[in-house]
């Protein structure tokens, strides 16, 4: 027993997580900039009797955005309060109207994996697209950025450690991408703040985006 107690007494203390990111990962790109070229690890529907009829499919930034005009909104996390109560539902409701204003597709991006994003969409009541090869849902498409590669390239990466225990996530923003370039971008609080207490949601909502699209 004495030896056991001695062994426990020598255990080193846990080192606190340090939320230091390279400056370029948290410095938003400018309007007019080319968006980052990355690979998104998605799940696509296949012909199967399994309860999870999906398989992996790599999609590049070019696959999704080249030659297209798309709306994207990015948020800190699936299943989180503002993202679930306001951000995603607003764009889902405005989907058809945005499409009528010269938009090819609307994407919701979060630093979560494809499994989490699908379950969140189901929980939100999004209508599934059950055609083979689909990305999961009929209207807003949920785009997983689990490794934060796209988020870092957009300069929108932030860490909530002591504040929420999230780890690295995306700062809340919305944008219009036009043939791989940033046509317009709305960023909450004017820029990225690490480990920020508030969760601002003032300029990245669907109404603000609709107002911009109607003004073009």
Of residues 117, 167, 121, 122, the one with CA closest to residue 144: 117
Give residue 165's pLDDT band: very low, low, confident or very high (50, 70, 90): low
Measured CA to CA, the distance from residue 156 to residue 33 in angstroms comes to: 14
C-alpha 83/C-alpha 75 separation (Å) is 7
133/140 Cα distance (integer angstroms)? 16
Q: Choosing from 83, 108, 148, 158, which is the catalytic residue?
A: 83
Tokens of 85: 């109560």
* For residues 42-55, average pLDDT: 91
Q: Tens digits of per-residue pLDDT, 18-41? A: 567 899 999 999 999 999 999 999
Backbone angles phi, psi at 164, to 5 degrees: -135, -10
**Catalytic residue check, 83:** yes
DSSP run (H or E) holding 107: strand 105-110
In contact, 38 and 153? CB cutoff 8 Å: yes
pTM as predicted: 0.89
pLDDT at residue 208, as a whole number: 98
Q: 79-137: per-residue pLDDT in tens?
A: 988 899 899 999 999 999 999 999 999 999 999 999 999 999 999 999 999 999 998 99
């Amino acid at each position: 027993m004495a030896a056991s107690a001695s062994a426990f007494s020598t255990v080193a203390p846990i080192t606190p997580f340090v939320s230091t990111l390279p400056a370029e990962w948290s410095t938003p790109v400018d309007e007019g900039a080319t968006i980052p070229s990355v690979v998104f690890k998605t799940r696509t529907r296949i012909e199967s009797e399994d309860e999870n009829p999906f398989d992996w499919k790599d999609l590049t930034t070019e696959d999704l955005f080249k030659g297209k005009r798309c709306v994207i909104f990015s948020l800190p996390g699936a299943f989180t309060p503002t993202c679930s109560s306001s951000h995603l539902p607003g764009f889902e409701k405005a989907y058809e109207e945005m499409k009528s204003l010269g938009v090819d597709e609307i994407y919701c991006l979060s630093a979560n994996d494809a499994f989490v994003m699908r379950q969140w969409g189901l929980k939100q009541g999004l209508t599934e697209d059950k055609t083979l090869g689909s990305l999961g849902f009929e209207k807003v498409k949920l785009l997983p950025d689990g490794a934060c590669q796209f988020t870092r390239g957009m300069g929108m990466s932030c860490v909530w450690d002591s504040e929420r225990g999230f780890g690295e996530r995306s700062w809340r923003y919305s944008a219009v991408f036009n043939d791989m370039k940033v046509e317009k971008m709305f960023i909450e609080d004017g820029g990225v703040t690490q480990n920020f207490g508030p969760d601002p949601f003032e300029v990245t909502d669907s109404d603000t985006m609709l107002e911009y699209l109607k003004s073009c």
